[in-house]
Amino acid sequence: MNKCIFLDRDGVLNRDKVDYVYKKEDHIILPGVVDALHNFKSAGYRLVIITNQSGIAKGLYTAADVMICYDLLQEACGGIIDGIYYASYHPDYNSECLTRKPYTLMFEKAIAKFDIDTAQSWMVGDKERDLVPARKLGIRTVHLQCDSHKYDADLTVFSLLEASEKILA
Ligand SMILES: [Mg+2]
C-alpha cells in the first residue's frame, strides 16, 4: 500500500482569491510549495489534489480551465503530482453531490486508484470542509491556517513547506 499527501488546492497550493481562480494569470503558486511537494515525493508519498470547483456548476469556467491550472502546477514542480480530483457540483446550481467536500467520495476514489493506506496519509487544507472527510476516513489532518479561524487538526501550520517539515521530521 502507498502513503499519500492529499492536498486542497486554493489557499494551499496557489493563492486563494475572493472569487475563483481559473485564469492563468490568477494562478499564483504559493511560496515554498514546489519544495514542499518535492520533499513529500522524496519521502515516498503520493500527491493527490482534492478540490471543490463549484465555479464549473455556476458556469464561471470549465473543467478545461481547472486542468490548465493543474498543468501549470505540474510544469512548475516537474510533473510529480499523481492526480487531481475536482467536484464540479454545487447544491444551489446542479446537485448536492457526494463528491464535493465535506463528503468523502473524491478521497475514496483516490484511495482505491492509488492503493492508499489512510493511516499513513495526511490531508492538508485551509477549511474545515477539507478536514471533515479526512477525519471520517482515518487520514491525519493538517490545518494550513490562513486567517483567524482555527480548526481541530493533528497539525496546524502556516504553509505547505512547514507542513512538509513537520510531517517528515
Ligand atoms: Mg482551500
Tens-place pLDDT, residues 94-104 = 777 788 999 99
Under CATH, what is the fold of the domain 3-168? Rossmann fold (3.40.50)
Of 153, 139, 169, which Cα lies nearest the Cα of 40?
169
Q: How much is the pLDDT for 93?
A: 75
Closest Cα partner for 126 from 113, 147, 145?
145
The pTM is what?
Answer: 0.96
Please say if the pLDDT value at position 41 is more than 80: yes
Distance (angstroms) between ligand 1 centre and the Cα of 89 equals 16
Q: In angstroms, what is the span from residue 125 Cα to ligand 1's centroid?
A: 6
Model confidence pLDDT, tens digit, residues 111-159: 999 999 999 999 999 999 999 999 999 999 999 999 999 999 999 999 9
Angle at 72 between CA 130 and CA 21, to 5 degrees: 50
Catalytic residue status for 8: yes
Residue 117 is a catalytic residue: no
Beta-sheet pairing, 45-52 with 83-87 = parallel
